[in-house]
Chain A
């Protein structure tokens, strides 16, 4: 059974700073997804990582996947207030189709 752990669970940071959210998973997963959720809203897909070494960037966010280390990271560069949200990673066991297991989420607050 795949288990997905994110850390930190809560992150308060100043605008302009850099930080990384970590997503560890317990068994083989050949794909990893990152989602964003604004308070009271739905989840929005950010990144889809489908192979070892995959790196994707969108604006101030960059996600990477290391399947050998069972680790994905979401790096935030020069944070701005608009990035304040909860970020979830989700992994899928190899061969399990679209079945995803979600991490507990990282609540990010970016202060001016």
Chain B
């Protein structure tokens, strides 16, 4: 089983619908992230959380919200999906500390908004 698990892996929805992407991890890491990948743009940070009580906006948080339900769970919500939110979404985790800044990624959730 993957250390960082995302559900669903693929989702097609319509404009205006509420969507939740879920992420769970068994790595025991404190830090969790949501990134969005668009062709040619690399990965852009949406939200990040350094522990259960700490939530921070990333580069492109507008239109998204998150919830850190437990150390191991971090979900991303689109309250009212729009077509330009069509993208591949990745959850990632990392340890604390400068020397452990390496990210560990989930398999990705491909979202299509019609």
Chain A contact residues, CB within 8 Å of chain B: 4, 9, 30-31, 33, 35, 41-45, 48, 50, 88, 90, 92, 97-105
In whole angstroms, what is the CA distance A102 to B43 when docked?
6
Kindly list chain B residues whose C-beta atoms are within 8 Å of the C-beta of A98: 31, 48, 94, 100-101, 103
Q: How far is the CB of A7 from chain B (nearest CB, A)?
A: 13
Kindly list chain A residues whose C-beta atoms are within 8 Å of the C-beta of B12: none
Residue B22 is within 8 A (CB to CB) of chain A in the complex: no
Nearest CB in chain A to that of B101: its residue:
A98
Query: Are the C-beta atoms of A99 and B42 separated by less than 8 Å?
Result: no
Query: Number of contacting residues on B, CB 8 A?
Result: 23
Contact flags B21-51 to A (C-beta < 8 A → 1, else 0): 0000000000100010000111111001010
Query: Are the C-beta atoms of A97 and B101 separated by less than 8 Å?
Result: yes
Nearest CB in chain B to that of A9: its residue:
B40
Residue B105 is within 8 A (CB to CB) of chain A in the complex: yes
Count chain B CB atoms within 10 A of each CB in A35, A92, A99, A103 and give the residue with the most. Answer: A99
In whole angstroms, what is the CA distance A33 to B99 when docked?
11
Q: How far is the CB of A85 from chain B (nearest CB, A)?
A: 14
Q: Is the interface of A mostly helix, strand, loop or mixed?
A: strand
In whole angstroms, what is the CA distance A30 to B101 when docked?
11
Given A88-B42, A99-B45, A102-B42: A43 and B90 interface contact (C-beta under 8 Å): yes
Q: How far is the CB of A23 from chain B (nearest CB, A)?
A: 11
Count chain B CB atoms within 10 A of each CB in A9, A42, A44, A48 and give the residue with the most. Answer: A42
Query: Are the C-beta atoms of A42 and B42 separated by less than 8 Å?
Result: no
Query: Are the C-beta atoms of A104 and B40 separated by less than 8 Å?
Result: yes
Partner of A103, one of B42, B48, B102, B105: B42
Residue B64 is within 8 A (CB to CB) of chain A in the complex: no
Nearest CB in chain A to that of B106: its residue:
A42
Query: Are the C-beta atoms of B42 and A100 separated by less than 8 Å?
Result: no
In whole angstroms, what is the CA distance A11 to B48 when docked?
32
Q: How far is the CB of A86 from chain B (nearest CB, A)?
A: 10
In whole angstroms, what is the CA distance A44 to B104 when docked?
7
Nearest CB in chain B to that of A100: its residue:
B103
Kindly list chain A residues whose C-beta atoms are within 8 Å of the C-beta of B41: 104
